[in-house]
Amino acid sequence: MKEILLSNGEVKSMTFEEARKQFEPMVIKHMTDANNKFVYNAVEKEDFRQILDIEVWRAYEAYDIEQGNCFTTYLHFKLQKGVRNATYHRYAQKNQGTTISASAPIGDDELKLEDMFSTEDTSTDSIFFNELASIIKENVSEEEHEILQCLLNKKDFPVVDYAAKHNMTRQAANQRVKKLQKKLRQIVAQEYLEI
């Protein structure tokens, strides 16, 4: 039995089976939305459901109400990972054996395939990046935000500047950066890379 924070602010004690039943509509929505992208080659519903149920279990097991997040927020990212795992091979096989250059002119009028693409990035790389960014954002405290900037953008946020701002040695600042880096590695390995 685990305490779960619902999106309406209510705290409910639930077993895994109760949580699974409560959040079943969310699971079905993720599954349906993903399968709607594959008109002719949808993932078999029972297999897909099993993959997502495993992610519900992982979310339930790892969820900690003390962190102050709603369970649905946490579950959403686990379900995204499940969708990625269930559908990734579909994306990989989609254009197998076909090589088309987006920058090659089509016909006689110099129009290129890349000119017809929308600017919104819906590639799997973008999905993975957004998922990673969300995981990192959720797990970095306000105090660690500046250290994260040192990790992500060394040119504009050098460790030396961070050390000077906080009146500490460069070595002490580097230790903070390494500590955050280690923490984020463990979180990403647990929440993103673990299958």
Cβ atoms of 124 and 185 closer than 8 Å: no
Q: What are the helix (H) ranges across the chain? A: 16-22, 24-35, 45-62, 71-94, 124-139, 145-152, 159-165, 170-188
- Residue range 154-174, pLDDT digits in tens: 888 888 888 898 899 989 999
pTM for this model (two decimals): 0.47
**Percent of the chain at pLDDT exceeding 90:** 15
pLDDT at 9: 85
Give the bridge partners for 3, in sequence order: 13
What does the radius of gyration of the chain's CA atoms come to, in whole angstroms?
A: 22
What letter does residue 132 receive in the DSSP assignment? H
